[in-house]
Amino acid sequence: MKPYRVLLYYNYTPIPNPEAYREIHHLYCLENNLLGRIIVAPEGLNGTVSGLAEDCERYMQWLENDPIFVGSNFDFKVEAHEKHAFAKLHVRVKEEIVNSDLPVNPRVKTGKHLEPAAFKEMLKNDPDVVLVDMRSNYEHAVGKFKGAITFDMETLRELPEHVQEIEHLKDKKIITYCTGGIKCEKASAYLLERGFENVYQLHGGIIKYGLEEGGEDFEGKCYVFDNRVTTEVNQINPKVISKCYICDTDCDKMVNCANPTCNEHVPICADCLVKMEGACSEECKSHPRKRPYNPDGYYSKQSDNYTPEFGFKSRQKTEVDYSNFRLEV
């Protein structure tokens, strides 16, 4: 039995004082040995964290019992892992819990949620269904649903530039999907704003579909934002769809280039990783800033202005009122 857990979650519930909540949330994670990336925003909370099973269970209970979130649904996606999936802990305050700049509010209007079983059933039996991937190009390059439409976009901010690519499908049933469901809350809402009428979203995303339905027809691996880089999803009919960036052989080993000035997300096979010392090109291999070879292909970002206790030094420190927050479960 793997002793650690990796949690993926989000919650579109307004947080009245994001700065204060960031501080108490970060303190809780530090005291409970949790690592990961958590975003706090006025519109809600988004996180991926790892820790021992008992620490993660306590953390989920703490969130669900917090007065801010009582009555809402976190819908945690929980994967077993042999160790921490992160090297650090970051809890940041941002304007949005997923970068989009889309003029929508998923608490007001969003696509119809499809649980994994209903999603699988609709795909098998409804000829009018069209799957649309709302992730970035480097994510769907290593894995996507069979037959899904993908966009060549770096972030969700670029979605308005690509909607015309599916305008001719407005009479179809559109199902959006992403890693854990968070992007689809806004992406599906945006499609509704643009005149699409039958818009659905895979609730809980690719990860939940893999956990509950075995991941059938998800081809390749799912890109994740921790030091695993990718995770297995399909236990039924797996297929490798990506090729090594260097030698063009079939490969689903997704890595970051060892050159930090490049840091490209690409598939590189084990042989090429060794030969290129983790770099994606000869130029990157000889770059003076190239990081030491890491066979995992993952390199933590350096945050020079960040400390666990105070966040980013560049942010003006504000007086924090802790009276409405608590650490106990």
Active-site annotation, residues: 178
What is the C-alpha separation between 81 and 4, in angstroms, rounded? 5
The DSSP-derived string for 92-135 is EE-S-SS----S--TTT--PEEE-HHHHHHHHHH-TTEEEEE-S
- Which tokens belong to 2? 């793997």
Grouping H, G, I as helix, E, B as strand and the rest as coil, residue 19 is helix
- When computed from its CA atoms, the radius of gyration of the chain, rounded to whole angstroms, is 20
Task: Please give the Cα distance from 102 to 108 (Å, whole number).
Answer: 14
* C-beta of residue 46 within 8 angstroms of C-beta of residue 98: yes
Q: Is 273 helix (H, G, I), strand (E, B) or coil?
A: helix
Contacts of 252 (CB under 8 A, 6+ apart): 142, 143, 220, 221, 230, 240, 241, 242, 267
Helix (H) or strand (E) run with residue 123 in it:
helix 116-125
> How, if at all, do strands 311-312 and 306-307 pair?
antiparallel
DSSP conformation letters of 152-181: --SSGGGHHHHGGGGGGGTTSEEEEE-SSS
Q: How many C-alpha atoms does 215 have within 13 Å on its Cβ side?
A: 22
| Whether 38 contacts 51, CB under 8 Å | no
Strand, helix or coil for residue 20: helix
